[in-house]
Amino acid sequence: MERVRVFTNVEHNTQAFVGVNKSTIVVSFRGSKGTINWLHNLEFLFVPYIREGCVGCLVHAGFCWLLQSLWVEMRMYLRRLVAKKGIERILVTGHSLGGAMATIAAANLVSQNHLFSHGLKILLYTFGAPRVGNMQFADWLLASFCRGGHESYRVTHKRDVVPHVPPRFIGYLHAPHEVWYDNDGDTEYTNCNDIKGTPCSDLTVTE
């Protein structure tokens, strides 16, 4: 990994790093750490997510605020890196809270791909991430990824409860698509068909 830079906001206890691995820019967000993070996690209020074509889109206020605590500086650094010759893709990843922040960050990149990342492929891989937005946001994100030839995988594990919050009954919905490991570290997994409603990890938790 080259040109690694760590971004930290002490007030909000958030952290991420950006680096370059050959032709890939890697953007990784740290998971929940400390009381402040969990207070943001438990705040289920929506805020508008305003992007072209994203009509009625809402996202989790706490996750959005935490991302914003890092995003201005990260975006400036990413703009410099994407100008580097040989860069083909941006991989955005995170675990738990970091997965939620990664989802919104990837949405930001996809929505500005023609201006910001010069048509680079965006890869979003999250692990044990909570729900981030409403149905309109989930539908828009899926359509944007499909239209741009990007990839999005949401990895879940057995009975982990984090992917099941915030609850669906107040309007939160995951964007596809889920890869579910119903085991203790085995290599077998279920490649879930979210569009057809394959329940996968939803089988293990009653909401």
Residues assigned a catalytic role: 96, 160
- For residues 199 and 180, what is the distance between their CA atoms, to the nearest angstrom? 10
Which residue, among 203, 206, 177, 182, has the nearest Cα to 192 in the 3D structure? Answer: 177
- For residues 205 and 197, what is the distance between their CA atoms, to the nearest angstrom? 16
Query: In the structure encoding, which two tokens stand for residue 111, read together?
Result: 């929505």
Cβ neighbours around 169 below 10 Å, total = 7
Query: In the structure encoding, which two tokens stand for residue 126, read together?
Result: 């999250």
The alpha carbon of 160 is separated from its chain's Cα centroid by a whole number of angstroms, namely 17
Query: In the structure encoding, which two tokens stand for residue 167, read together?
Result: 């609850």
